[in-house]
Every structure is written in C-alpha cells, then in structure tokens.
Copies of this chain bind each other. A is one copy, B any other.
Amino acid sequence: MSTVYPIVPGHEIVGRVTKVGSAVTKYQPGDLAAVGCMVESDGTCPDCKAGFEQFCPNLTLTYNSTDKYLEGVTYGGYSDSIVVDERFVLQVPSNLDLAGVAPLVCAGITTYSPMRHWGITKGKKVGVVGLGGLGHMGVKFARAFGAHVVVFTTSPNKKEDALRLGADEVVVSRNNEEMQKHAGSFDFILDTVSADHDINAYLNLLRRDGNITLVGAPEKPLEVGAFSLIMRRRSLSGSSIGGIAETQEMLDFCGKHNITADVEVIPIQKVNEAYERLLKSDVKYRFSIDMASLKSE
C-alpha cells in the first residue's frame, strides 16, 4: 500500500491506496485506508495471537523504529507514500472527514480501548481528566457509549468547549469543594494528563470497584496512597493504543456514530510553528498536516 494523501504524519496516517502487492486481498487502488502506530509485529507471540499487537516484543512502530527492510528508521507519514503490510492497514468509513479521521488511529484508539475494556456503557459515570488531543476523544467516546460524562480541567475557560464536545458536567479540578461533591461516585476515570498531578484526588472520586486508567504518562512517578485503593477496592491501571482488530472496530464505531477528532489542518510548511504551539497546548485538538502541501515545496 502507498498513501498519496496522508494526514497527520508520524503515526496517524490516512490516505488512498495507490498500489497493492499480488497477495493483497483486502484493498484495491483507490480505497481509503489508515495506518496507525504500528506497521509490523511478529504475529506469533501470545500477544499477537490474542489480538494485542501493541504489546508484541518484536513490534515495529510506524515512526522512529528500526526499519527491518531499509537502512535507518521508519519515518511514518512524514513522506509522500508508505508501504505497509495489509495486516496493519485499516479500513476507513467513507462518511467521515479525512483530516479528522487521522488522529483516530492513535488518540482515538488510545481512549476507546480502555473504555471498552472497563465496560463503559449507558448509565455509567465517566470522568475525563484533561481536555487535549486524547481527552477530547475520550469525551466523544464516553458520550457515544451513553455514559454521564464529567470533564476535569485546570482551565475554567475550557468549560464551554467541554460541553460542546459532549460533557454533561465540567469540574475545575483546583476547586476542592467541586471535587468533593463527586466523591465516591465514578465508575471510571480516563486520565489523559502527562503533567505531574495528584492522583489520589481522583482515586477518591471512584465508587466501589471503580477504575482510573492512565493514558497520559507523567515523567515523575505518581504518588499513590494505599488507602485510596484499599477503600472501595479501587484500581489504577494503564493502557496504550489497541490491537489492530480493536482499532478497526473503533473506526467502524466512529463511522456509525459520526465521530472524528477536532483538527486544525495545516500545510507542511507550518510544522515548526505548529510544534511550538503544541508545547503551549495551543491546538484544538490535533494538528492534521495536509501532505498535498509537500508538492508546493
């Protein structure tokens, strides 16, 4: 496969198939297709066999992994084409805006997968900590699963946007009184924050058997009070992307529920400016690079 219209290079790629190898059965030239964080795994380890390619010990990442076939490393979507085994190519629902589809194959699956794993369905109370690239997808999925969605943010000025994205309530996490109102009430909290933060304040909001899943990765270890877990038998866990089958399931779900990421489309010429803005969290909520702009170089 080769993409001619990849959006959000790196590891969130969407485009059209230009050529297929003779053994390819699932794709034809012209098909819409996406490639996420992974381009190869051994296919034989217990994780691969169980559909968890993301945990394969011999995984090749789409970006900055050792390239087994060419010298150097993989460059992902920072390229005008990419060749990928069809096992790692995903079908894209035709009703969705392509620029908004690209982030689904990383930010989307990263937030969809733990909610499926922890059984988020209608009537559950779900929190989403942080409203960025991951968080805004978390809100959309939790809403689509029928949950009551509460966004936790340090920025009161994100309230309006959180509600627009589908949140039922917004809590400013620095307001201890607002936090306390929700003590012991959440089934599940998706924590997307990669800055240092007090995890016990969120653990205490969980009901019996409630879970917090980390998808952001703070550099400093989180300080976890044992009693925050022992009371109400709570759990803290982590999750990374998802396997290929689940990623396809997520894309199909997005097609059915008309879900895409909110993106700002930029030409490749603005990539450095976009990077500077990213560092300041100044994006709603992902940049998508239109690779057609490469041709104007």
Contact = CB atoms under 8 A, between A and B. Distances in A.
Nearest to A118: B235
Choose among A47, A221, A240 the residue with the greatest number of B CB atoms under 10 Å from its CB.
A221
A227 B222 CA distance: 11
Q: What 5 A-B pairs are tightest by C-beta distance, nearest first?
A: A229-B238, A230-B238, A235-B237, A221-B223, A217-B226
Contacts of A231: 55, 238, 240
Interface string A222-260: 111111111111111111100000000000000000000
A214 interface: yes
A230 B208 contact: no
B226 A218 contact: yes
A55 B236 contact: no
A215 interface: yes
Nearest to A218: B226
A221 B224 CA distance: 5
| Oligomer copy total | 2
A34 B114 CA distance: 42
A216 interface: yes
Given A55-B208, A208-B47, A233 B227 contact: no
Nearest to A230: B238
Interface residues of A, number: 34
Interface string A59-74: 0000000000000000
* Chain A facing B: main interface SS: mixed
A200 interface: yes
A295 interface: no
Contact of A216 (B52, B218, B226): B226
A224 B227 contact: no
Contacts of A117: 233
A210 B33 CA distance: 34
B238 A234 contact: yes
Contacts of A224: 221-224, 236
Contacts of A222: 223-226
A242 to B, nearest CB: 10
A211 interface: yes
A258 B47 CA distance: 38
Contacts of A228: 238
